């Protein structure tokens, strides 16, 4: 006879409500884990997208993500000619606010050279950029659709394709335009300003610079030798892909990551206390019955089983409800929520450990109950 | 086992709580023998030691001195001679409480069968025995009801069935009729007496209920922890 299940069935509604409450708490914990993962994944997405081997940036900077980097656009030709480089492409990044649909659309504009490293890797819908100007490929989270027109700076761009998972470390969705358009967007002055500059006798500033040059490496090439060679140019620095990812995590998202990590730790601690309190209260409410069981001869294992089984059922139900809820709602979060099976399993392990530990408190109270308390009352 | 066999043999039992100025002697030099088929009542004012003596016989509290024998086995002689007192209670003693103390999450039948389940008997055998006992106590038709849906008399009969489930030869009852009216109290005591005879068991009851005094073979009076008379 399973006393734990019988007791649960007796107060099923209350138990289900308790499980649901715990499930909501687990949903919050899982969403924080997902947000934490999403922050890291988003931050790395833009670095990983070009599948670069080496990033050539301005000397003395950790560009182009951690800080600004400007190098001459013709650096690409020099890098492409270096031994061990399969292909190279110049690339540019900037944030813009575009008016669209009566509202404002914050975009991360990536300028690339079509046919060279830096272009979107997989078009999810529509097509890639086919002309030199005024076409863009947007991340799906922008809400843009192929065929729509968007004004960026002084020009209108046609959306020709969509990609998934392209954004910067702040979660702003990316749009890809040609490098020429991106450079124009970055440097072209407003017509009034151009007129003032012309009246002064100076031309508008059109610096042919890019943020970085990314190089794909030939199989078997010595990356260390290549980066060392690039650094011989005093105005350039070279970072491997791994170094670039490390810089991004260490400097750009580190604070936010630690903030969320700390909050997650607090949330897990609160969850542990709540679970412990629920289980302890459930046990305390049963002390009279436990005294009766002891009096009629129930061994300790029966009483321990009653408490531990209920604690584990509660924990497993709460975890399951939490998992179902977060999987249902995660796509409605404004930023990406990335939940790996490993995360859910780790949380299950933590909940299991907390339930066992919390049961320990209940079991201790149950073991101290005097069977005589069942008599005479 | 012949009827009249000594099932409870308490000799020189004393129990005190606290030490020095706070010492309270709850039991002093108690000698008591109860035989199979006997139904006795422990009487006395509040604080006289009735419940303490019941707890000593039920192996719930440890005597300070003396010897306790149950069903032919000496279980206490200056110290407990059995390690597992709960198993001892499960095998030899049935308890009936003042307020039935049925487990609210089990049906009447399950409340009886749980004792046999704890004793390691197969579930089917436990259910059959429970059903037999409930029928015998005329509450078989309420076997599937939870305690909250039983009347006071029905619940107390289920509690008696539970106390008898594992064929104990010693039944200890603490105010078993306190929650019942006079007529039902008499019926319950008659049932318990019948069971004591049928199962060659003895029943020790703590009671203040004068309406049922005539149902007992002996009335044992306690005063200040001593047996006053018998």
* B20 min Cα distance to partner chain A (Å): 24
Residue A58 corresponds to which tokens in the numbers above? 């301005």
pLDDT at B225 over 90: no
What does the DSSP assignment read for B21-85?
Answer: GG-EEEEEEEEEEEETT-EEEEE-STTSSHHHHHHHHTTSS--SEEEEEETTEEEEESSBS-S-H
Confidence (pLDDT) at B227: 86
**Most A CBs within 10 Å: which of B15, B52, B70, B104, as the mutation test of the A interface?**
B104
Q: pLDDT for A281-317, tens place per residue? A: 888 888 888 988 888 888 888 999 999 999 999 999 9
pLDDT at B183 over 80: no
DSSP A173: B
Determine contact, residues A183/A111, Cβ cutoff 8 Å: yes
Please check the confidence at residue A347 and state whether its pLDDT lies above 80.
yes
Residue bearing tokens 């749009």: A175
Residues of A with CB under 8 A from a CB of B: 1, 3, 6-7, 9-11, 288-289, 292-299, 302, 370-372, 374-377
Question: Of A328, A347, A346, A345, which Cα lies nearest the Cα of A337?
Answer: A328
Specify whether the CB–CB gap between A154 and A50 falls below 8 A.
no
Angle, helix A12-48 to helix A3-10, in steps of 10 degrees: 100
CA angle, A8 as apex, A6 and A14 as ends, to 5°?
Answer: 150
Q: Which residues contact B31 (CB under 8 A, 6 or more apart)?
A: B10, B11, B12, B13, B227
The reported pLDDT for the residue numbered A207 is 58
Token pair of B161 as six digits = 């069935």
Contact residues, chain A, for B126 at CB < 8 Å: 1
Quick check: A319 and A28 in contact, CB under 8 A?
Answer: no
Q: Nearest CB to A372: which of B60, B117, B206?
A: B60
Which of 192-211 (B) contact A at CB < 8 A? Answer: 206
Average pLDDT of span B92-118: 88
B127: contact with A, CB 8 A cutoff: no
Average pLDDT of every residue of chain B: 86
Q: Does B52 touch chain A (CB under 8 A)?
A: no
Indicate if the pLDDT at residue A175 is higher than 50. Answer: yes
CB A190 within 8 A of CB A159: no
Instruction: Please tell me the distance from the alpha carbon of residue A321 to that of residue B66, in angstroms, as a whole number.
Output: 58
CB contact under 8 A, B101 and A376: no
By C-alpha distance, the chain A residue nearest B172 is A375
Give how far B87 is from chain A: nearest CA, Å: 6
Chain B environment of A6 (Cβ under 8 Å): 105-106, 110
Chain A residues in contact with B51 by the CB 8 A cut-off are 375-376
Is A293 within 8 Å of B115 when comparing Cβ atoms? no
Its sign, for the CA torsion B4, B8, B14, B17, is negative
What integer is the mean pLDDT of B25-48?
89
Q: What percent of chain B has pLDDT over 70?
A: 97
Structure confidence at residue A206 (pLDDT): 56
Task: Give chain B's domains with CATH numbers.
Answer: 6-16+28-229 (3.40.50.300)
* Number of residues that make up chain B: 230
Contact list in A for residue B116 (CB cut-off 8 A) is none
Nearest neighbour of B61 by CB, restricted to A7, A9, A372: A372
B65 touches chain A (CB under 8 A): no
Query: Backbone phi, then psi, for A270, in 5-degree steps?
Result: -60, -45
pLDDT tier, A377 (very low <50, low <70, confident <90, very high otherwise) = very low
> What does the pLDDT average to over A132-158?
90
CB contact under 8 A, A6 and B106: yes
How distant is the Cα of A280 from the closest Cα of chain B, in angstroms? 19
Contacts of A374 in chain B (CB under 8 A): 95, 97, 101
Task: Identify the pLDDT of residue A189.
Answer: 64
**Phi, then psi, of B154 in degrees rounded to 5:** -65, -45
- B228 CA: distance to closest CA in chain A (Å): 22
Q: Give yes or no for B174 touching A (CB within 8 A).
A: yes
Which of B47, B93, B115, B98 is CA-nearest to residue B201? B93
User: What's the pLDDT score for residue A16?
Assistant: 93
**Whether the Cβ atoms of residue B38 and residue B196 lie closer than 8 Å to each other:** yes
pLDDT band with cut points at 50, 70 and 90 for residue A233 = confident
The residue that leads in pLDDT, A358 or A207, is A358
Mean pLDDT of chain A: 87
Percent of chain A with pLDDT over 90: 26
**Which range (A247-256, A332-341, B210-219) has the least confidence?**
A247-256
Interface with B, mutate which of A288, A296, A373, A374 (most B CBs under 10 A): A296
The mean pLDDT value for B155-161 works out to 86
**Contacting residues for B52 by C-beta, under 8 A, at least 6 apart:** B15, B26, B27, B61, B225
Least reliable range by pLDDT among A110-119, B47-56, B111-120, B170-179: B170-179
DSSP A297: T
Residue B120: per-residue pLDDT: 86
Give the model's pLDDT for residue B1: 42
B95 at interface of A, judged by CB pairs closer than 8 A: yes
Residue A73 CA to residue A77 CA, distance in Å, equals: 8
Are B89 and A1 inside 8 Å of each other by CB?
no
Q: Contact A279/A355 with Cβ under 8 angstroms?
A: yes
Q: Is the pLDDT of residue A274 over 60?
A: yes
Given pLDDT bands bounded at 50, 70 and 90, which one contains residue B2? Answer: very low
Give residue limits of the domains in chain A.
3-43+255-374, 48-252
pLDDT of residue A204: 52
What is the per-residue pLDDT across A36-92, written as a single tens digit (0 to 9) for each? 888 888 888 888 887 888 899 998 888 788 888 888 888 888 888 988 899 999 999
Is B121 within 8 Å of chain A by CB? Answer: no
- Using CB atoms, pick whichever of A296, A374, A377 lies closest to residue B90: A296
* pLDDT recorded at residue B169: 87
Let me know: does A43 contact A166? Beta carbons within 8 Å.
no
């Amino acid at each position: 006879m399973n006393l734990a299940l019988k007791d649960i069935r007796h107060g099923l509604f209350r138990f289900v409500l308790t499980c649901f409450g715990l499930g909501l708490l687990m949903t919050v914990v899982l969403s924080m884990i997902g947000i934490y993962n999403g922050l890291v994944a988003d931050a790395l997405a833009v670095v990983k997208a070009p599948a670069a081997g080496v990033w050539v940036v301005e000397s003395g900077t950790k560009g182009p993500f951690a800080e600004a980097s400007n190098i001459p656009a013709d650096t690409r030709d020099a890098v492409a000619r270096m031994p061990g480089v399969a292909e190279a492409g110049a690339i540019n990044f900037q944030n813009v606010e575009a008016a669209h649909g009566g509202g404002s659309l914050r975009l991360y504009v990536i300028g690339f050279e079509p046919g060279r490293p830096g272009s979107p890797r997989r078009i999810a819908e529509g097509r890639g950029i086919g002309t030199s100007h005024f076409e863009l490929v947007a991340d799906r989270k922008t809400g843009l659709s192929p065929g729509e027109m968007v004004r960026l700076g002084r020009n209108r761009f046609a959306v020709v394709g969509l990609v998934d998972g392209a954004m910067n470390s702040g979660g702003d969705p990316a749009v890809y335009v040609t490098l020429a358009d991106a450079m124009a967007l970055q440097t072209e002055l407003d017509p009034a300003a151009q007129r003032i500059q012309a009246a002064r006798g100076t031309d508008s500033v059109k610096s042919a610079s890019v943020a970085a040059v990314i190089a794909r490496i030939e199989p078997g090439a010595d990356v260390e030798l290549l980066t060392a060679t690039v650094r011989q140019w005093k105005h350039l620095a070279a970072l491997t892909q791994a170094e670039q990812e490390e810089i991004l995590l260490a400097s750009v998202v580190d604070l936010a990551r630690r903030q969320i990590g700390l909050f997650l730790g607090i949330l897990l601690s609160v969850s542990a206390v709540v679970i412990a309190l629920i289980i302890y209260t459930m046990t305390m409410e049963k002390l009279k019955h436990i005294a009766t069981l002891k009096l009629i001869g129930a061994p300790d294992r029966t009483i321990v089983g009653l408490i531990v089984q209920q604690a584990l059922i509660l924990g497993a139900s709460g975890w399951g409800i939490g998992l179902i809820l977060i999987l249902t709602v995660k796509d409605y979060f404004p930023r990406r929520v990335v939940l790996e099976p490993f995360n859910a399993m780790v949380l299950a392990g933590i909940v299991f450990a907390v339930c066992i530990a919390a049961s320990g408190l209940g079991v201790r109270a149950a073991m101290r109950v005097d069977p005589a308390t069942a008599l005479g009352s | 086992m012949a009827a009249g066999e000594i099932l409870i043999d308490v000799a020189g039992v004393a129990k005190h709580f606290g030490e020095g100025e706070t010492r309270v002697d709850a039991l002093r030099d108690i000698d008591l023998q109860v035989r199979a088929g006997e139904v006795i009542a422990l009487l006395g004012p509040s604080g006289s030691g009735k419940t303490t003596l019941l707890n000593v016989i039920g192996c719930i509290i440890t005597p300070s001195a003396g010897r306790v024998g149950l069903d032919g086995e000496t279980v206490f002689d200056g110290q407990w001679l059995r390690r597992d007192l709960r198993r001892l209670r499960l095998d030899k003693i049935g308890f009936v409480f003042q307020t039935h103390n049925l487990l609210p999450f089990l049906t009447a039948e399950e409340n009886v069968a749980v004792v046999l389940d704890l004793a390691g008997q197969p579930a089917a055998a436990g259910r059959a025995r429970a059903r037999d006992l409930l029928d015998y106590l005329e509450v078989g038709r309420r076997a599937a009801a939870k305690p909250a849906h039983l009347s006071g008399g029905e619940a107390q009969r289920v509690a008696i069935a539970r106390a008898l489930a594992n064929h104990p030869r010693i039944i200890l009852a603490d105010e078993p009729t306190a929650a019942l009216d006079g007529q039902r109290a008499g019926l319950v005591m008659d049932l318990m007496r019948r069971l004591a005879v049928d199962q060659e068991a003895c029943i020790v009851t703590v009671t203040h209920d004068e309406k049922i005094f005539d149902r007992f073979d002996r009335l044992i009076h306690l005063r200040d922890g001593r047996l006053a008379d018998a």
